[in-house]
Structure 1
Amino acid sequence: MKRMLLLTLPVLLAACSQGGGDIEGVQTFKNEGGAHQPGRINYAQTPPPGGAHNPAWQNCGVYDRPLYDEYAVHSLEHGAVWVTYKQGLPAEQVEALKKVVDGRTYTLLSPHETQSAPLVLTAWNAQLELQDVNDPRVQKFLQKYEQGGEAPEIGASCSGAYGGTV
């Protein structure tokens, strides 16, 4: 019996490692879900990949102004991916990002006031900083983390709540 287990173990490990694997450059964090807190919150990362957040979530969609972190983090808890770009990113690159998120129901796209990288993709407990909007990791990140990853409330609504901007 032990011999059979040893023979099947590599097959099981190979099966678990298929399906996209790790995405180079993704940073991971350890935030618990469910911590609702009104008002402004100081976060350790910019944009924040989780933590305490406003009781209302940010409606998923495309925004041309920055969002309040506290509402966007709640959307991350619901399984959304927040695609943020540095203010001043050339218009053609912003248009390219709009095409990337077009038709996706669990994404937020907005400029972010304080990020340093040109492009940051953020999901609950995962974040990827990129220099180029055409980087193939953009699609990989969206495929892995939109309604996936470690989001505590996958499938909860991403509409019908807060739609304002900073």
Structure 2
Amino acid sequence: MRIRASQRVLRARISVAGLTLLTACSSTPTIQGLKTYSYPSGQHQPNLITYKESPSVGGPHNPTWQNCGVYPAPLFQMYVTHSLEHGAVSITYRPGLPDVQRQVLRDVARTHSYVLLSPFDNQQAPIVLSAWGAQLGVEDASDSRVQAFLQRYEQAKSSPEPGAPCQGGVSSTT
């Protein structure tokens, strides 16, 4: 499974008052295995919330967000989902993931200011990356799709509130 390095380039000729303009635009590369979802934003609820996707990718969430950073224990998804709304990416891994893989993920998370990293029980893939409305499962921390996902979704305009805080919230774990 690899990212398609390039997609087709579309070209159009536009004639205006005898001048011919040539335009080109390339589409966004496909991230193989990416799943997308649609959720409205701004739905704050104070109690525990059950999510359709696990880990969550959007929907109702607590009024307080989870601080971005590296965590040794699972996080409450109601806080993480609020961070996703702010343009954060959550990287979760199965608790049994080898130490070498976890270290790669910690190094990745520490080089990004809008990333949360934590273990997560019972997820389908060993590693899952989640953003508002998008999710990708991978088998290995060195998979090139990890960086592609981060590049596309960290602080992306597709998140409802990119640039909103990823600090000043909660740092609690389950």
Q: TM-score, normalised by structure 2?
A: 0.86
* Partner residue, 2:42: 34
1:45-124 equivalent positions in 2, closer than 5 A: 45-124=53-132
1:2-17 equivalent positions in 2, closer than 5 A: 7-8=13-14, 12=23, 14-17=24-27
**In 2, Cα distance between equivalents of 1:21 and 1:32:** 25
* Partner residue, 1:22: 30
Local SS of the residue matching 1:7: strand
**Which deviations, in whole Å up to 9, do the C-alpha atoms of 1:27-57 show, x marking residues without a partner?**
0000011000011111111101000001000
Q: How many residue pairs end up in the alignment?
A: 158
**In 2, Cα distance between equivalents of 1:102 and 1:159:** 14
Local SS of the residue matching 1:132: coil
CA-CA distance at 1:114 after TM superposition: 2.6
CA-CA distance at 1:77 after TM superposition: 0.1
What amino acid is aligned across from residue 72 of structure 1 in structure 2?
A: V
Higher Cα Rg, which structure: 2
State which of 126, 133, 142 in structure 2 corresponds to 1:125: 133
Q: Give the strand-richer structure, 1 or 2.
A: 2
CA-CA distance at 1:7 after TM superposition: 1.8
* Partner residue, 1:3: none
**In 1, Cα distance between equivalents of 2:54 and 2:157:** 19
State which of 141, 160, 163 in structure 1 corresponds to 2:149: 141
* Structure 1 residues 149 and 113: CA distance shift in structure 2, 3 A: farther
CA-CA distance at 1:149 after TM superposition: 4.8
- Listed as ranges, the gaps of 5+ residues in structure 2 are 1-11, 15-21
**In 1, Cα distance between equivalents of 2:131 and 2:78:** 14
Local SS of the residue matching 2:135: strand
Q: TM-score, normalised by structure 1?
A: 0.90
**In 1, Cα distance between equivalents of 2:55 and 2:93:** 10
- Listed as ranges, the gaps of 5+ residues in structure 1 are 1-5
**In 2, Cα distance between equivalents of 1:154 and 1:138:** 20
Give the superposed CA RMSD: 1.7
Percent identity over the alignment? Answer: 49
What amino acid is aligned across from residue 42 of structure 2 in structure 1?
A: G
CA-CA distance at 1:91 after TM superposition: 1.2
Q: Does 1:153 align with 2:173?
A: no
CA-CA distance at 1:101 after TM superposition: 1.5
**1:119–1:129 CA contact under 8 A, matched in 2:** yes
* Structure number with higher relative contact order (C-alpha < 8 Å, ≥ 6 residues apart): 1
Q: Give the helix-richer structure, 1 or 2.
A: 1
